[in-house]
Structure 1
């Protein structure tokens, strides 16, 4: 599954992307809970960052391109450049603050 979680407004052109790399996992309650948590994260981040969920089963080449060992993991990117990476699942308000602080420390590329 490579999906964009819906947001109220589209992201601005300089929006960063948070890729959430998920390991092979059977569908079921765990997958539903993961999707719900990522939807909540997208709501908390707003338009500043677009959350994309990348399922290893559906997109193994994408996960491999990010050296997807030690999944799950999340990767913060802007304009196709990896800015920061963290193992595990993003899951709390502290995570939102951490992601936003990482993004604030990075220069915005001009178009």
Structure 2
């Protein structure tokens, strides 16, 4: 699962930027198919969940697999490369789960 932690959009410019981000996330979900579910977590709706990940800034991306964090990034990753990167992270751990360093996902 890819958690996308989104900031509160308070200005018109922020709301316009958010619409662009949401469209990009829809495209990403289509590229990932059933391999990785993209889940948007809005700070305005779920502030405790967003803050439990202790990211330096928003937006942030956190890839998890069976409750273990595999990868995280702050800011907006390059849309051209993100699907391939996420799938490679998932495939590497699925192929050799014993090498996975356990880093549990925080619980809200």
TM range (shorter): 0.7 to 0.9
TM-score by length of 2: 0.76
Quote the residue 2:51 is aligned against. Answer: 64
Superposition CA RMSD, Å: 1.7
Moved more, 59-68 or 84-93: 84-93
TM-score by length of 1: 0.75
Task: Structure 2: give runs of 5+ residues left out of the alignment.
Answer: 98-108
Matched, 1:86 2:73: yes
In 1, Cα distance between the equivalents of 2:38 and 2:80? 15
Aligned length: 93
Task: Structure 1: give runs of 5+ residues left out of the alignment.
Answer: 1-16
Relative to its length, the structure with more strand (as a share) is 1
Relative to its length, the structure with more helix (as a share) is 2
**Which structure's CA Rg is the greater one?**
2
Tell me which stretches of 4 or more aligned residues in structure 1 moved more than 4 Å. none
